[in-house]
Amino acid sequence: MLHPHLQRVSYASSRRVAATCHRLPQPSRRLFSTHTAEAFLEPLRSDVGIACISLNRPQAKNAISMKLLHEFRECLGTAKYDKSIRALIIRSTTTGSFCAGADLVERRTMTQIQVAKFLSDLRAALGELETLPMPTIAAIDGPALGGGLELSFACDLRVAGHSVSKIGLPETRLGIIPGAGGTQRAVRLLGMSKAKDLIFTARMLTAQEALEWGVVDYVSSPSSSAFERAVELAREVAKSAPLALRAAKQAISRAADLSLESGLDFERASYEVLLPTKDRLEALEAFKEKRQPVFKGE
């Protein structure tokens, strides 16, 4: 869902949104009360074309409640059709957090029907995240456990904070298995052997270990956060033509499902639709004039 304050023209008009994505609020200065959204979509005020879906349950380390999941899906629905977004970051509103997985406290109060619906909705949400047309980046500034790590697997790229020490899929120690795509996306991301190792042992990885395993793609420097590193990465992504980014993501994402020849045909079709676009013509003109292109997504 789009946070109601972000529908206003002036950000300065509200202290509740005085600190948006360009700066992570400190826990002692949290700007969103427990009565506000648990997940909301907001633009990165300092950079046109970059937006964030912010998880906002600091008291529970962003454990996925029914409310958070519902609002997260609303955010995804809005982002999907927002052509101004060139890169989307999934992050926490508070330092030292990302997503601690499903809310097990809430789970104990749920009926079997509610649990079944929650799992179905979570699966659908991560599928929607994975198929968003724009590149997505998970900024892992704290524990990414169970469903939290599965959420990051549904993103295109993952950045971990330098000091993060709990990244893993602990479900087998809880008598279950990863139930939001972990057994499937881990294999595609890490390979069969590493996926089995990660899940069978329920091991916890540090940020550096996660980088070595291929669970994350970047680790922030000791002096910066995962979110800050994710913003740097998003800025690099956002320099590219929006239509080209979307076409590239679609072609790459289909590669695993197609034979090489079919994949090449799909790539060619995706390439050809870009040739007559205004952005393609602008890129050629900018190259000729030795300047940076100004892309408009047209």
Q: Output the DSSP codes for 22-35.
A: TSPPPGGG--S-TT
Task: Average pLDDT across each block of 10 residues of the chain; the chain has 298 residues. List them in order.
Answer: 38 34 36 68 92 94 95 96 95 93 89 92 96 97 96 97 96 92 95 96 96 97 96 95 93 91 93 91 86 83
Instruction: Give the number of domains in the chain.
Output: 2
192-223: per-residue pLDDT in tens? 999 999 999 999 999 999 999 999 999 999 99
**Taking a C-beta distance cutoff of 8 angstroms, is the pair 61, 143 a contact?**
yes
Q: What is the pLDDT of residue 35?
A: 62
- Residues with a catalytic annotation lie at 102, 147, 150, 171
Asked if 283 and 210 sit in the same domain, the reply is no
Asked if 152 and 216 sit in the same domain, the reply is yes
Last residue of a domain, one of 220, 239, 258: 239
Do the domain assignments include residue 34? no
Asked if 168 and 75 sit in the same domain, the reply is yes
CATH number at residue 197: 3.90.226.10
Query: Is the four-CA dihedral 205, 211, 214, 215 of positive or negative sign?
Result: positive
CATH number at residue 267: 1.10.12
Asked if 285 and 192 sit in the same domain, the reply is no
Last residue of a domain, one of 200, 224, 239: 239
101-133: per-residue pLDDT in tens? 988 889 889 999 999 999 999 999 999 999 999
Do the domain assignments include residue 168? yes
Asked if 225 and 91 sit in the same domain, the reply is yes
Do the domain assignments include residue 33? no
Do the domain assignments include residue 122? yes
Q: Do the bridges between strand 50-55 and strand 39-43 make them parallel or antiparallel, or are there none, so unpaired?
A: antiparallel
Query: What is the residue range of 161's domain?
Result: 39-239
Cα–chain-centroid distance for residue 189?
15
Asked if 248 and 106 sit in the same domain, the reply is no
Do the domain assignments include residue 24? no
Asked if 188 and 276 sit in the same domain, the reply is no
Do the domain assignments include residue 32? no
SS (H, E, C) 40-84: EEEECCCCCCEEEEEECCHHHCCCECHHHHHHHHHHHHHHHCCCC
Do the domain assignments include residue 25? no
Q: What is the pLDDT of residue 24?
A: 39
Asked if 86 and 130 sit in the same domain, the reply is yes
Sorted by sequence, the CB contacts under 8 Å of residue 202 that are 6+ apart come out as: 168, 169, 170, 171, 172, 173
Backbone angles phi, psi at 196, to 5 degrees: -65, -45
Q: Which two tokens stand for residue 129?
A: 């995240």
Q: What is the pLDDT of residue 31?
A: 36
Asked if 207 and 63 sit in the same domain, the reply is yes
